[in-house]
A and B are shown apart, each in its own frame.
Chain A
Amino acid sequence: MSPHLRKKVVVVGHGMVGHRFVTAAIERGLTETHDIVVLGEEPRPAYDRVALTSFFEVGGEALSFLPTGVYEDPRVTLRTSTSVIEIDPAAQTVMLADGEEMAYDELVLATGAAPFVPPVPGSELGNVFVYRTIEDLEAIREAAKTAKVGAVIGGGLLGLEAANALHQLGVETHVVELAPRLMAVQVDDAGGNTLKRHIEKLGLTVHTGVMTESISPDAVVEISVVDEVSTGSTTGGTVLDGKVSALKFKDVEEPLPIDMIVFSAGIRPRDALARAAGLDLAERGGVLVDEQCRSSDEHIWAVGECAAPGGKMYGLVAPGYDMAEVVADALLGGAGTFAGADMSTKLKLLGVDVASFGDAHGTTDECLELTYSDAVTGVYKKLVISEDGTRLLGGVLVGDASAYGLLRPMVASGMELPENPEELILPQTTGGGGGPSSMALQLPLEAQICSCNNVTRGDIEAAVDNGCESAAEVTKETKAGSTCGSCKVQVKKIVEDYFTAQGKTVDTSLCEHFAMTRAELFDVVLIHGYKTFDQIIEAHGTGRGCDLCKPAVASILASQLNGHVLAKENRKLQDTNDAYLANLQKNGSYSVVPRIAGGEVTPEGLIVIGEVARDFGLYTKITGGQRIDMFGARMEDLPAIWKRLVDAGFESGHAYGKSLRTVKSCVGSTWCRYGVQDSVGLAIMLETRYRGLRSPHKLKGGVSGCARECAEARGKDFGVIATEKGWNLYVGGNGGAIPAHAQLLAGDLTTEELVRYLDRFLMYYVRTADRLQRTSTWIDSLDGGLDRVREVVVDDVLGLGTELEAAMVHHTETYFDEWKATLEDPEKLRRFVSFVNAPDIPDPNISFGSARGQIVPEVGEEPAAIGPVSLGASIPVGMPTLEESR
């Protein structure tokens, strides 16, 4: 197709649903024939509005769906800070705020919704906010610096999110709800009351069944002229001005003094553009669309909260995603339809689990209710069951929503209830038989497990059949659990049960000698204070170990005691690299890497490395970690090579260990005209702090001095990127076969905070990861993933912070250069010989050729022998003088 025949799709709005439309269009191949232009009004690309509350913790970048602001598909263009002011359906053009006119072949409206602010007198005052965008949250954070008391008007789902935000910001928080209970849409009275008790326990005040009559200002200012288009309410010659100071409730005498207000009284579809263009709207707002999400104009489509399929607007992200997929399909000629949505919800509000699914209010004729309530622990659960007691219709869960992952698909699939349905909501300890999750396998294959991405149990099992070997891989493959995360536990359970059903055991034993995971073994060693492998295997294992458990134990002992890896009792545990403190290469020779912290090296240092390499005939290559690797060293030459290096001030680079390798850095603010922080200085400090730390897998770090990220820090297990205000800390990145981008753990940190979080993060990883599990897969394997890591590392919910920090301090204080220590100990040097009985004869099996002016290993098909066998020219040959006996 020639370029001018390509068509153009214009997308108005770059929120979650607009973004989903673009990714669906790219995945389905729409960009093969269409260019896509996305016009976003907000100054930044789409971000995760569902997780908006975490903005204060993680910052805007972590929420972003498109941090670079550019789609990888070059046929998609995103323009942020761009408002559309008019649509001309006849001409098929849109007019932008700056006067630019843009033609389209197809127009997709994804303008979302706007918060509804009821016309309460005083709502135009200062310190009145809504809760929708990152800019809203930034303004709220600013106001909270001086405000002492705040009120959230609206006790629904979003209102409680907003209350949580105020509470987190240290503002004394009141929640004001017109209805007689919180979350009136989702839960019933008993559920609402349970929720209210939880929230009040946290120190928030809840006012239900009260109507806000007016908001009082902290000042009333006389003005002479009242602008007639002012939206403010005017009383005589005065206008309300200044900031809020009190809330007046209807039928309540005493006003409530407050310093700030957040309105969260519902949302309204943003349909003004469509209205002005003459498109049909739904009775209660929203662009009226058919089941393919096409509006009354053939070439205009609407998706998400601005759309009203069949006249009904959906204020959740999952139906919006469905609509986005439907439109992408329709534009490719598909016949997919949007068939309404499951409005089930599960979320954590102020730390309280709340879930609502199916017919939560029991509106079905003659339905039955089954409730469980525990006022002491604050758990309330209700099931709505069909009249004949065979099917689950819906339910409400407050305080413990762990059964949601099972119950919601039960409603959706219409499967028959078990004989004792009460077991579905009784606490697991009394429910017998392993609780509700053990019933996962009984869900029909077509039961939808992930409602955000429409993934069924069948899809999950198919992903396992296609080679996925863990829940994390299934999530990557199917997207199940990747949006709101509420089904993650269920996905994991289905994957594990399916493995079991296939006879695959998900065996987490370290090896045949230890029936426990590495993390369990770590704890056992720590608790008992074991010092040697022999103690450990005698008490907790069988046999004499192997190449799996011995290095694992060696690593655990090193992490806890930080002794010398070649100490007599440790030596036999070390993998060959650790056993000779060098990296074994294919022909039996070794490579040598001195530490060059942060990649910074003096000319004198470079000269020494060059001289050593030259004198020992070594091949040299620059590594990816900004240091120099010298290859082709014979084992018996290692001490002499290291003697030279240590004398020149170098120390072990631990390139041979499952341990910290390097902290790579860009040149930073010292030299770079873009740099905002001293990345080299920080990298050297971090590499020096964590050098020698033994870990489940190798560890790499990176520090970039500005957002250009020249150190590729996000490709490392821990990456630090400088900001104007401090440092952003990213974790869980790696290159290799399955590359992973590090994710933001915490933003704008001081150096002290950064080191504290890194100490905790690394020690937490060292203690709990499996053998050879890198940080990225370790994070994926934790229940709660990165959020869990943040809870433990940043929020310190386990109270482990001090202990983890102390363990790292112990590590730094007991660090020594293991090559220097080896050179000082004849007992350790004893083993660096080619042959125990002929230490002067080099191993004839090691020989080299040459390429591009340097040596390369030669590998023979048969063992070489000394004597009548021809040897490589570079190998000194001589018959051993051996004492022969009978």
Chain B
Amino acid sequence: MSADQLRAGQAVTYISVCRLDDIDPETGVAALVRGEAVAVFRTLDDRVFALSNYDPYGHASVLARGIVGTRGEVPFVASPLLKQPFSLESGQCLDDPSVSVATYEVDVIEGEVRIGARR
């Protein structure tokens, strides 16, 4: 099964990547999902978000290492390279709405964090 097939939505499966406890609140971890690097974040209220780990500005796979915070009500991660803020909810860059990173379906079942299809 190739990544291309998966992107086309031909097989939507959830992949368990770690326990929720493996992610400290207000931080992220990088996970390898079907060959792609995915940044998985946990907020203080235990919501979990999954974005592509790839920073489209810095061209490096680093978003999981950024600082997590809020802008207004929106939870976001600041790229550790050049600090561009990306919404955890939509993947959109909060300073430039024309740029966004991919987001992934994500859920937590019995303490297991699972990543689904790319949205």
A and B physically associate: yes
Q: What is A's interface to B at a CB cutoff of 8 Å? A: 512-513, 543-547, 549-551, 568, 571-576, 579-580, 584, 586-588, 831, 834-838, 841, 843-846, 859-861, 863-869, 879-880, 882-886
Asked if B71 is at the interface (CB within 8 A of a chain A CB), the reply is: yes
Asked if B22 is at the interface (CB within 8 A of a chain A CB), the reply is: yes
Contact A545 B70 (CB under 8 A): yes
Asked if B108 is at the interface (CB within 8 A of a chain A CB), the reply is: no
B25: nearest chain-A partner, CB-CB: A572
A584: contacting residue among B24, B40, B80, CB under 8 A: B80
A885: contacting residue among B14, B27, B37, B52, CB under 8 A: B14
Contact B15 A545 (CB under 8 A): no
Contact A836 B22 (CB under 8 A): yes
Q: Which residues of A contact B36 (CB under 8 A)?
A: 863, 865-866
Q: Which residues of A contact B60 (CB under 8 A)?
A: 586-588, 845-846, 859
Q: Which of B1-29 contact A (CB under 8 A)?
A: 2-4, 13-18, 22-27, 29
A657 vs chain B, min Cβ distance (A): 15
Q: List 25 A-B contacts (CB under 8 A).
A: A512-B72, A544-B26, A545-B70, A571-B27, A572-B24, A572-B25, A574-B67, A576-B66, A586-B58, A587-B60, A588-B62, A834-B32, A836-B17, A836-B23, A836-B29, A837-B17, A843-B61, A861-B59, A863-B36, A865-B3, A865-B36, A867-B34, A869-B35, A884-B13, A885-B114
Q: Which residues of B contact A879 (CB under 8 A)?
A: 35
Contact A885 B31 (CB under 8 A): no
Q: Which residues of B contact A587 (CB under 8 A)?
A: 59-60
A587: nearest chain-B partner, CB-CB: B60
Q: Which residues of A contact B76 (CB under 8 A)?
A: 546
Among all A-B residue pairs, the 4 with the closest Cβ atoms = A576-B80, A547-B78, A546-B69, A845-B61
A543: contacting residue among B34, B53, B69, B83, CB under 8 A: B69
Q: Which residues of B contact A886 (CB under 8 A)?
A: 13-14
- For the complex, give the distance between the alpha carbons of A584 and B82 in Å: 11
Contact A863 B26 (CB under 8 A): no
Q: Which residues of A contact B4 (CB under 8 A)?
A: 868
Given A546-B69, A587-B59, 8 more contacts at CB 8 Å? A546-B76, A547-B66, A549-B69, A584-B65, A584-B81, A836-B17, A863-B37, A866-B36
Given contacts A863-B54, A880-B32, contact A544 B70 (CB under 8 A): yes
- For the complex, give the distance between the alpha carbons of A835 and B40 in Å: 11
Q: What is B's interface to A at a CB cutoff of 8 Å? A: 2-4, 13-18, 22-27, 29-32, 34-37, 40, 43-44, 52-54, 58-62, 65-72, 75-76, 78, 80-81, 83, 85, 114
Contact A883 B16 (CB under 8 A): yes
Given contacts A575-B67, A576-B66, contact A838 B3 (CB under 8 A): no
- For the complex, give the distance between the alpha carbons of A859 and B4 in Å: 22
B67: contacting residue among A573, A584, A586, A869, CB under 8 A: A573
Q: Which residues of A contact B69 (CB under 8 A)?
A: 513, 543-547, 549-550
B7: nearest chain-A partner, CB-CB: A865
Q: Which residues of B contact A883 (CB under 8 A)?
A: 15-16
A513 vs chain B, min Cβ distance (A): 8
- For the complex, give the distance between the alpha carbons of A825 and B75 in Å: 30
- For the complex, give the distance between the alpha carbons of A860 and B25 in Å: 31
- For the complex, give the distance between the alpha carbons of A864 and B72 in Å: 33
- For the complex, give the distance between the alpha carbons of A289 and B62 in Å: 72
- For the complex, give the distance between the alpha carbons of A859 and B23 in Å: 28
Q: Which residues of A contact B85 (CB under 8 A)?
A: 546-547
- For the complex, give the distance between the alpha carbons of A719 and B109 in Å: 58
- For the complex, give the distance between the alpha carbons of A587 and B4 in Å: 24
- For the complex, give the distance between the alpha carbons of A546 and B68 in Å: 6
A589: nearest chain-B partner, CB-CB: B60
Contact B13 A885 (CB under 8 A): yes
Contact B35 A867 (CB under 8 A): yes
Contact A836 B30 (CB under 8 A): yes
A63 vs chain B, min Cβ distance (A): 43
A588: contacting residue among B31, B32, B61, B72, CB under 8 A: B61
B35: contacting residue among A550, A551, A573, A865, CB under 8 A: A865
B25 vs chain A, min Cβ distance (A): 7
B93 vs chain A, min Cβ distance (A): 14
A572: contacting residue among B2, B37, B68, B80, CB under 8 A: B68
Q: Which residues of A contact B114 (CB under 8 A)?
A: 885
B24: contacting residue among A568, A845, A864, A882, CB under 8 A: A568
B27 vs chain A, min Cβ distance (A): 5
- For the complex, give the distance between the alpha carbons of A882 and B65 in Å: 23
Contact A584 B31 (CB under 8 A): no
Contact B65 A580 (CB under 8 A): yes
B3: contacting residue among A575, A867, A884, CB under 8 A: A867
A533: nearest chain-B partner, CB-CB: B26
Q: Which residues of B contact A586 (CB under 8 A)?
A: 58-60, 81
- For the complex, give the distance between the alpha carbons of A883 and B60 in Å: 27
A512: nearest chain-B partner, CB-CB: B71
Contact B78 A546 (CB under 8 A): yes
Q: Which residues of B contact A568 (CB under 8 A)?
A: 24
B37: contacting residue among A544, A545, A835, A868, CB under 8 A: A835
Q: Which residues of B contact A574 (CB under 8 A)?
A: 67
Contact B67 A866 (CB under 8 A): no
B96 vs chain A, min Cβ distance (A): 16
Q: Which residues of B contact A880 (CB under 8 A)?
A: 32
B17: nearest chain-A partner, CB-CB: A837
- For the complex, give the distance between the alpha carbons of A884 and B16 in Å: 7
B31: contacting residue among A544, A836, A865, CB under 8 A: A836
B26: nearest chain-A partner, CB-CB: A572
A544: nearest chain-B partner, CB-CB: B70
Q: Which residues of B contact A576 (CB under 8 A)?
A: 62, 65-67, 80
B55 vs chain A, min Cβ distance (A): 9
- For the complex, give the distance between the alpha carbons of A575 and B83 in Å: 10
Contact B71 A546 (CB under 8 A): yes
Q: Which residues of A contact B16 (CB under 8 A)?
A: 837, 883, 885
Q: Which residues of B contact A837 (CB under 8 A)?
A: 16-18, 31-32
Given contacts A512-B71, A588-B62, contact A866 B35 (CB under 8 A): yes
A179 vs chain B, min Cβ distance (A): 65
A827 vs chain B, min Cβ distance (A): 10
B1: nearest chain-A partner, CB-CB: A867
- For the complex, give the distance between the alpha carbons of A869 and B66 in Å: 26
Q: Which residues of B contact A844 (CB under 8 A)?
A: 37
- For the complex, give the distance between the alpha carbons of A513 and B25 in Å: 18
Contact B59 A544 (CB under 8 A): no
